[in-house]
Amino acid sequence: MRVVYFGSGEFAVPTLRWLANSPHEIAAVVTQPDRPAGRGKNPTATPVGAMAESLGLPVHKTENANEAGFVEQIRSLRADLGIVAAFGQKLGVPIRSAFAGDGINIHSSLLPKYRGAAPINWAILNGEPKTGVSVFRLVDRMDAGPVLIRRETAIGSTETAEELHDRLAGVACDALGATLGLLQQDLHHPGEPQDESLATQAPKLTKADGRLRFDEPAEQIALRCRAMWSWPGARCLYRGADGRTEEITIATASAIPAQAAEPPGTITSLLTVATRQGTLEIHGLKPAGKRAMTWQDFVNGRHVKPGDRLESISA
């Protein structure tokens, strides 16, 4: 099958690599333009753009894949299918119709649940036991097209959003392979319509989503820590008895059912953290401007004592 691959972010890299080593032909890779990055703000290719160039594939970088001239350029490739993964632009009808079999999208949730920009984070934050990858036909509404293939996986009890992202990127290779096998038999396979009554949203995250509140239950705080790692990060202030404060980002923590006697946010005699319901045992964190470390290393380095506090960041 002759395809055009639309992708930009890290999630789309493994499927591009898989495609390049498959019997399918990649007519072109379309990605976002280079952006300034790093301290020097040097123009840097997207992860997909860099991978495509390393594989010797033809790369098109565009701010607007729906621009009429670009659509005609893609149409001239006479590809069977457009494949979209973490591209960052919505494809309209004209460019979708440039392909004999229209366009498909690879999405990191079990649609119709978690439509939107941050499905992995919201699945963890909401305590879902499982998630997966869905490959669906593109339509005008975001993530609402008929589903061709789903692949399910359990969410690990300590898995962070970053870890789950990377694992689902691998699952996406299997999902895409199954989808292309299906479409080789019937390029116009209609897929299964999504049940709109089950649809939920996964909006783009902001830094505010990472603010920790210790007047919440420990279980919810632990979920937020995992869901927000590594961006925007579940952030709070450590305040020592001497008044010293330091911003920290908690990567992993677990909830202990036993209730602490201390007010929420207080570090207990067991060096756990009191919350509204249960106590929080911290495992890994990253102080602002420092490397990631274990909670024990932080305790030893800062001489953390019972009665010290973790507090919400006000802004």
Residue range 176-213, pLDDT digits in tens? 999 999 999 999 999 999 999 999 999 999 999 999 99
Residues 78 and 125 in one domain: yes
Same-domain check for residues 10 and 141: yes
Asked if residue 34 and residue 76 are part of one domain, the reply reads yes
Of 160, 176, 198, the residue at which a domain comes to its end is 198
Contact present, 32 and 88 (Cβ < 8 Å): yes
Q: What's the pLDDT tens digit per position in 263-309?
A: 999 999 999 999 999 999 999 999 999 999 999 999 999 999 999 99
Sign of the CA dihedral 133, 135, 140, 141?
A: negative
The pLDDT > 70 percentage for the chain reads: 100
Residues 193 and 213 in one domain: no
The Cα 218–Cα 264 span in angstroms is: 10
Q: How far apart are CA 157 and CA 26, in angstroms?
A: 38
pLDDT band at 39 (very low <50, low <70, confident <90, very high): confident
Q: How far separated are the first and last CA of the chain, in Å rounded? A: 51
**pLDDT value at position 265?**
98
Residue 262: predicted pLDDT: 97
Asked if 229 and 175 sit in the same domain, the reply is no
Handedness of CA 64, 69, 75, 77 (dihedral sign): negative
Q: Where do the DSSP E strands lie in 108-169?
A: 130-137, 147-154
Q: Do 212 and 179 reside in the same domain of the chain?
A: no
With a cut of 80, say whether residue 151 has pLDDT above it.
Answer: yes
Residue 315: the pLDDT is 63
How many folded domains does the chain comprise?
2
Residues 150 and 273 in one domain: no
What does the alpha-carbon distance between residue 279 and residue 261 come to, in Å, rounded to a whole number? 10
- Full residue range of the structural domain in which residue 260 is found: 207-311
Confidence of residue 100 (pLDDT cuts 50, 70, 90): very high
Report the CATH number that the domain containing residue 112 is assigned in CATH: 3.40.50.170
Please name the residue ranges forming H helices in 57-186: 68-75, 93-96, 119-125, 161-185
Mean pLDDT of all residues in 218-234: 98
β-strands 81-85, 103-107 pairing: parallel
DSSP 136: E
Helix, strand, or coil (residue 137): strand
The answer on 226 and 173 residing in a single domain is: no
Domain of residue 295, CATH code: 3.10.25.10
SS3 (DSSP) at 120 = helix
pLDDT higher than threshold 90 for residue 314: no
The token pair that represents 116 in the structure block:
């939107």
Q: Beta strand pairing status for 42-44 and 35-37?
A: antiparallel
Place of tokens 């570090």: 267
> Does 154 lie in the same domain as 251?
no
Same domain flag for 132 and 214: no
186 and 216 inside one domain: no
Do 122 and 222 have their domain in common? Answer: no
- For residues 39 and 30, the model is more confident at 30
Could you say which of 198, 221, 246 is where a domain stops? 198
Identify whether the C-beta of residue 2 lies closer than 8 Å to the C-beta of residue 79.
yes
pLDDT digits (tens, 9 = 90+) for 66-93: 999 999 999 999 999 999 999 999 999 9
- 264 close to 274: Cβ distance less than 8 angstroms: yes
* Domain end among 153, 174, 198: 198
